[in-house]
A = this chain, B = another copy of it.
Amino acid sequence: MSATTYTVAGMTCGHCVSSVKEEVGQIPGVTAVDVELSSGAVTVTSEAPLDEAQVRAAVEEAGYELKA
């Protein structure tokens, strides 16, 4: 089990949170996605460590940006 917290820029409301959760949740092996709107913190729990590029791609697919 692995959990990593990323920071996502551009989320402004609950719909944005839902979009990010949906896209990141579709990455194979991801078991939970927790998002805190105010800080942009996105904690991704997965069966094995994820490639950050996959998380970045999912966040961008949702229309937001992963901070470096």
Contact = CB atoms under 8 A, between A and B. Distances in A.
Interface stretch (A11-19, A28-36, A50-58): A11-19
Nearest to A10: B13
| Majority secondary structure, A binding face | helix
Contacts of A19: 15
Nearest to A11: B13
Nearest to A12: B12
A15 B62 CA distance: 11
8 contacts: A12-B12, A12-B13, A13-B13, A13-B15, A13-B16, A15-B15, A15-B16, A15-B19
Interface of A: 12-13, 15-16, 19
